[in-house]
Homo-oligomer: A and B are copies of this chain.
Amino acid sequence: MREFALIDEIRSRVSNTRDDVVLGIGDDAAILAPRPGHELVVSTDTLVSGVHFPPNTAAFDVGWKALAVNLSDLAAMGAEPAWVTLALTLPEGSPEWPLAFVDGFAALAAEHRVALVGGDTTRGPLAITVAVHGFVPRGTALRRDGASAGDAIFVSGTLGDAAAGLAVVLADAFASRPERAALRARLDRPTPRVALGLALRGVASACIDVSDGLAADLGHVARRSGVGATVDVDALPASDALRACADPDRRRDWQLRGGDDYELCFTVPDDRVADAERAAAQAGVPIARIGTVTKRPGLVDAGGDALAPDRAGWDHFA
C-alpha cells in the first residue's frame, strides 16, 4: 500500500468530529482552535517494536497502546484530550497490519473523543510516535513538583500486572494459570486514567503516571518536589490475577519496579484526602493510600529501609 493510500484509509477509519479542528489531515499542517482561557498540554512518546512491545503483539493492541501511553501522560497532568498526531514507520508488508493497528488506535481515540489531526507514514523498522494535545483551565494542571511533606500518597488501580504480563510473553510464565490472558491484556491494552486525572484537578498536589515503575516514578515526584516518601509496601494494590500467579516476593518486586501499568500515582494534602476519595469514586477508579510524603529526601518503606529502585526505572525490557 502506498503512503497516500494508507493515509486515506487511516482518515476514513478515525473519525474527526470536533468543532476545534479547523482543518485536519490533508494539508501541510492542521489548523486548530485552542480553547480560550485554557492552557495546552502536549506530550510525545515513541513505541519501538521489541523495546516497548513484544514483536508478536497484535496490531490492534499496538495501535491501542500507542495512543494509551500518550493519553496517560495527559491524564497525569489532569488534561482533557483533544488532538493527536501519529507518525507510523512501517516495514514493507501487507496492509493488514497497519489497518488493524489503526483500528486499535481509532477505538481508543473514539472513547476519548480525540481527533487525529496529522500524520506521517514512512517505510522503515516498525516504530510509532504519537504527540497528544489536551487542555486544562489555566493554572490547574497537575504537575510533579507540588508535593509537600505530610501529603498522602495514592495510587490508582493495581500495580505489577503489566510486568507479570511481560513475564507471560517473554518467559511463558504461569503456564498452567487461567489468569495469563488477563495479565497480558494489562500489558498490551492499558487503560489511561483520563477521568481520574480530570477529577483530581484542584485536589491532588502532584501527579505522575506509573510507566517506569512506582519506585522510579514516585522518585521523580519526590525529586521535583524536593521531598521524600515513605511507602507502605504491603498497601500496594494487587490484582487477584497477580496474587494468584506470583509469589509474594516476586509480586512485590513487580508492584514496586515493574513498568507499563499506566496507573496514576498522586499526592494529596491531608485535609483533601476525603475529596480525593470522592473524586476517584466519581471517576469510577479505585485508589489506594500507599504512603506519606516526607521532608527527608529518598524513598523508604514502612520500616525505614531505602526503597531505591535497583534499576533507575523500568527502562522497558531492553
Contacts and interface: CB of A to CB of B under 8 A. Distances in A.
Nearest to A119: B44
Size class of the contact patch on chain A: 35 or more
A77 B2 contact: no
Contact of A89 (B4, B32, B127, B318): B127
Copies of the chain in the assembly: 2
B42 A40 contact: no
Given A29-B42, A41-B30, A124 B122 contact: no
A3 to B, nearest CB: 7
Contacts of A208: 28
B43 A3 contact: no
Contacts of A45: 87, 120
Q: Which 7 residue pairs spanning A and B have beta carbons closest together?
A: A29-B43, A48-B124, A34-B34, A129-B129, A131-B131, A28-B76, A125-B125
Interface of A: 2-4, 22-23, 26-34, 36, 39-52, 73-74, 76-77, 79, 83, 85-87, 89, 117-120, 122-125, 127, 129, 131-134, 136, 138, 141, 143-145, 207-209, 224, 312-313, 315, 318
